């Protein structure tokens, strides 16, 4: 089955009442308010979430859908390709996917839905993030997307969605940047540490990584009787992240049962290859985070190939 497509744009909304009036003035039809809970899973490819939705009003029927989608992160109107599957047992599916993949973040929001032709206008209040406006122009299968981009551009102008308010990422990523996945990263690092293969040093290390799409990855140190052939936990975790299709590290948790674990010098450079100087690195013991530092604190003056070639 071919994926459905739409053209999306998301922006912060400092004046929700004004935006609502502007949407109505532009001819949009108010469809009322919805309560939505989006549970994001650590998918290996693309993004995967379970949406549980309940309209306002007593006795209003609720529904749930599993949504698998791929979308670039850029501060502009962008194409999203997605698959929808109706879910009759949301708690059961959540438990199964959590066991198989792990939950990365949960987004709770109240959504005011308006329709302007084939464009869905979402006026969202997101727990922990505040007020937002989102446009989704639904495309027919044979569309070249030019009409959808034109519709989004026209509504963007009508609603005053200026460049300084438009964001590149979704709600899940924004919550993750605020630390929503830190405890899950710590749990992954602990599990990896417990599974480490360290018969020679007896020093188990586990690492959890969050990538640019919000997916979580982990790795443990794997030793070898030919000592140089072993690898650190950071190396294992980075390999898992890259093999999944991710390209960047946004958050790190390193755990060992010692006074204070820090990555070795080589692993600091390995992390720097895919992370930013400001990327948080949580130094953990079995009980949880003991200290959090920026990567630049661990590796000042890190080698940078782009700077070296400039």
Positions annotated as catalytic residues are 234
Closest listed residue to residue 184, CA positions, set 217, 137, 212, 148 = 217
- Where are any strands of DSSP class E within the chain? 4-12, 29-41, 47-55, 63-71, 78-86, 103-116, 119-126, 130-139, 205-211, 216-220, 249-256, 280-285, 288-294
In angstroms, rounded to a whole number, what is the distance separating the alpha carbons of residues 12 and 106? 19
Binning the chain into helix, strand and coil, the percentages to the nearest 5 are 30, 40, 35
* Helix and strand numbers, DSSP H then E, in the chain: 9, 13
Q: Which residue has the tokens 């919805």?
A: 34
In angstroms, rounded to a whole number, what is the distance separating the alpha carbons of residues 188 and 281? 14
In angstroms, rounded to a whole number, what is the distance separating the alpha carbons of residues 78 and 59? 36
Q: Which two tokens stand for residue 265?
A: 């010098």
In angstroms, rounded to a whole number, what is the distance separating the alpha carbons of residues 212 and 222? 26
Number of neighbours of residue 105 by Cβ within 10 angstroms: 23
Helix (H) or strand (E) holding 305: helix 305-309
Query: Are 53 and 36 a contacting pair, CB within 8 Å?
Result: yes
Backbone φ and ψ of 217, nearest 5°: -135, 155
Closest listed residue to residue 270, CA positions, set 281, 261, 286 = 281
In angstroms, rounded to a whole number, what is the distance separating the alpha carbons of residues 287 and 290? 8
């Amino acid at each position: 089955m071919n994926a459905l497509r739409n053209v999306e744009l998301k922006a912060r909304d400092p004046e929700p009442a004004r935006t609502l009036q502007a949407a109505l003035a532009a001819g949009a039809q108010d469809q009322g308010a919805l309560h939505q809970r989006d549970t994001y899973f650590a998918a290996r490819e693309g993004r995967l979430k379970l949406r549980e939705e309940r309209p306002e009003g007593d006795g209003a029927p609720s529904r749930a859908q599993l949504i698998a989608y791929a979308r670039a992160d850029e501060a502009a109107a962008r194409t999203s390709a997605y698959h929808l599957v109706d879910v009759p047992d949301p708690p059961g599916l959540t438990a199964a996917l959590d066991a198989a993949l792990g939950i990365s973040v949960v987004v709770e929001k109240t959504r005011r839905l308006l329709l302007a032709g084939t464009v869905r206008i979402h006026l969202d209040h997101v727990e922990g993030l505040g007020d937002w406006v989102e446009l989704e122009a639904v495309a027919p299968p044979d569309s070249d997307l030019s009409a959808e981009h034109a519709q989004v551009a026209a509504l963007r102008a009508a609603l005053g969605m200026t460049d300084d308010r438009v964001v590149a990422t979704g709600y899940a990523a924004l919550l993750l940047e605020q630390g929503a996945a830190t405890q899950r990263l710590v749990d992954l690092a602990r599990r990896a540490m417990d599974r480490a293969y360290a018969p020679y040093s007896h020093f188990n290390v586990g690492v959890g990584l969050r990538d640019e799409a919000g997916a979580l990855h982990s790795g443990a140190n794997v030793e070898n009787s030919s000592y140089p052939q072993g690898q650190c936990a950071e190396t294992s975790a980075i390999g898992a992240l890259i093999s999944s299709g991710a390209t960047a590290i946004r958050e790190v948790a390193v755990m060992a049962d010692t006074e204070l674990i820090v990555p070795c010098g080589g692993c600091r450079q390995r992390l720097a290859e895919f992370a930013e100087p400001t990327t948080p690195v949580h130094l953990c013991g079995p009980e949880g985070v003991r200290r959090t530092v920026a990567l630049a604190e661990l590796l000042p003056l890190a080698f940078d190939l782009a700077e070296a070639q400039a």
